Chain A
């Protein structure tokens, strides 16, 4: 009898503590800023003793799949999702996300950058709060450029960039001319390639939703991309995504890198970068048009309707995207690592301006990346480095895979583009966009 009493007492104790405590599960991507957020969770749990946070951290492609499958099947495994400016409007439209309303005045929603807020809303309703926002820009090695006598203007052109890459490519000296994304994925290599196509005057679809993948602008842009990565890039480029290129650049192996502005904090921080004091910053290069030359993206935190702990999740999200959190990161990790691109107050903060020499370029880029005008010619979609339709995940990933095939030399440029044009046409017909 004594054993059963002890068992009952223990169960009662456990149950009462379990009831008093809510555990929320957050799914997020393994970028440096999220890892920092994970590290600072004890601060949140101290301020909110009834809430425990359970972390699921995954690489970008895998995170997207897990999260999309979870929310589309209403599985309810997560309480907080990390999604972007692609998913938020689409899922808000489907009614899958909890609207971000009822935030306290101290949160100061007006302080959040307007283009970012717009990117995360559908029909005026906000469906996610931005954790960080980014555009894309050019990182270059000031020392290597100075040695060759190159100066980089605030707005470089692609003609200049190609020339610099050619002249600075020195594999025997351990430096590659230009590092670019090659890992297949609509959010990996296609994010960069879409901006390249945009600035060369191309577009994904015309006004009638017909794919334009065999147009001269596409051929020119992809041909240029393939030449850059095969002749002036590191080996194994089809395995390099954002994370791999960040490693290469911070180890001093690249003379130039065009990628997310959020890497600036990492590259300029001597704790995480071997070339922290040698990095120069400029806007992403343009070719025929400045439209869509650099992207707009925000990783934001949202709550699926299937979650049973909406209040606790909202408390966490409000904490992680607040002014106080940014101050916390500034104090503990250094202002150079503060989550960028979300609040005007960050950019007006003298501490941040001092620690982040790239702040002006980043703010400029985010403010001039317009998802409603991403191309030279008119288009039926919004989105700078993606097309805001649900089918784009499949399309983008398939095209990315084929372009990786062209880079690897498995198929010629014309052949690859023709194949993928046929595949995308088939998909658009079956999805009902083209009759």
Chain B
């Protein structure tokens, strides 16, 4: 019955040995590209290497790690990193959620408004930081100072008195559009019939929001939180261009500390050890968040 076999749909191609070897070069490139910097970092973290004093090089075991763990500045940096990430997450998710619900409605000029709301995400972080620092927050020449003086108040020196809050402001401003876009996409998958049914049952706007929209978004919110956490743990440009980690240690986060060790003190070994700690921190946070998402993914299945 040969022609019966011809008429049936062909089986999907299994991964034959030829395809495996064809993938080889691409996989090799990926391994080299992503792992070589990490391996080198690991290598340097076990050596003493000061760029300015190249004669005093050598293998020192865990000395660099110990130096960081006994340094109070290191622990302040970890705390600052967690504060920054946590605050920005809270603000971006909350405001992003509200904005997404807003843009879910139809109103005149929605397309233009959406473009404007999305634009902060595409400003380069250094440019954004400089504009915030010199044009908005500057206590003599800035817009906020001008407003404060107009209201009869003394202008606040934002970057000196509220440095971490200022950085959180700058970073949130940039990342709210990101959260908003992702949540908006999640909202699109909400069926209008469910909302109509709720309206018929007599639910007001707040009850709609609380009992239908937010639970539906549980999965999307988890994805937003996970993606943002990964990026926010490496925030550097805003701090570098505005407060330079200060005043004192107020805005020194772990990435900024690594930068200081590498390009301020030229101690490559200690900086590499700091980078290893940053990877460990990121992994801990990721496991935490993934567990939360896992729970939500299971819980979302009705």
Which A residues form the contact surface with B (CB < 8 A)?
A: 61, 65, 68-69, 72-73, 90, 94, 184, 234-239, 390-391, 393-394, 397-398, 401-402, 404-411, 416, 419, 422-423, 426-427, 430-432
Contact (Cβ within 8 A) A401 B246 = yes
Q: Determine how close the nearest CB of chain B comes to the CB of A84; give it in whole angstroms.
A: 15
Q: Which residues of A contact B161 (CB under 8 A)?
A: 408-409
B 211-246 to A, binary, CB cutoff 8 A, 1 in contact else 0: 000000000000000000000000000000000111
Interface pair A404/B52, CB less than 8 Å apart: no
Do A235 and B157 touch across chains, with their CB atoms under 8 A apart? yes
Also in contact, A234 and B140, with CB within 8 A (given A390-B52, A423-B73)? yes
CB of B247 within 8 A of CB of A407, answer: yes
A16 to B92, CA, bound (A): 57
Are B160 and A236 in touch, CB under 8 angstroms? yes
| Cβ contacts under 8 Å, A237 to chain B | 160
Nearest neighbor of A426 in chain B, beta-carbon distance:
B71
Given A184-B244, A184-B246, A184-B247: A236 in contact with B139 (beta carbons within 8 A):
yes
Q: Across the interface, which residues of B come within 8 angstroms of A235, CB to CB?
A: 139-140, 155, 157
The stretch of B11-19, B79-87, B262-270 in contact with A is B262-270
The answer to whether B264 touches A394 (Cβ under 8 A) is yes
Taking CB atoms, residues of chain B closer than 8 Å to A94 are 52, 54
Contact B139 A404, beta carbon cutoff 8 Å: no
In the complex with contacts A235-B139, A410-B250, A423-B73, A391-B265 CB distance below 8 A: yes
Chain A residue with Cβ nearest B248: A405
| Closest residue of A by beta carbon distance from B270 | A430
Asked whether B198 is an interface residue with its Cβ less than 8 Å from the other chain, the reply is no
Question: Chain B binding site: helix, strand, loop or mixed by DSSP?
Answer: loop
Q: List 21 A-B contacts (CB under 8 A).
A: A69-B51, A69-B266, A94-B54, A184-B244, A235-B139, A235-B140, A235-B157, A236-B140, A238-B246, A239-B138, A394-B265, A401-B247, A402-B248, A404-B160, A408-B160, A408-B161, A408-B246, A410-B247, A416-B248, A419-B72, A423-B73
Question: Are A393 and B264 in touch, CB under 8 angstroms?
Answer: yes
What residues of B have a CB within 8 angstroms of the CB of A69 in the complex? Answer: 51, 263, 266
Give the residues in chain A near B163, CB-CB below 8 Å: 408
Chain A residues positioned under 8 Å from B265 (CB to CB): 391, 393-394, 427
Flag whether B249 is at the interface (Cβ < 8 A).
yes
Chain A residues closer than 8 Å to B293, beta-carbon distance = none
Instruction: List B137-190 residues whose CB lies under 8 Å from chain A.
Output: 138-140, 155, 157, 159-161, 163
Shortest distance between the CB of A96 and any CB in chain B (Å): 10
| Cβ contact within 8 Å between B264 and A72 | no
**Bound state CA distance, A405 and B244, in angstroms?**
12
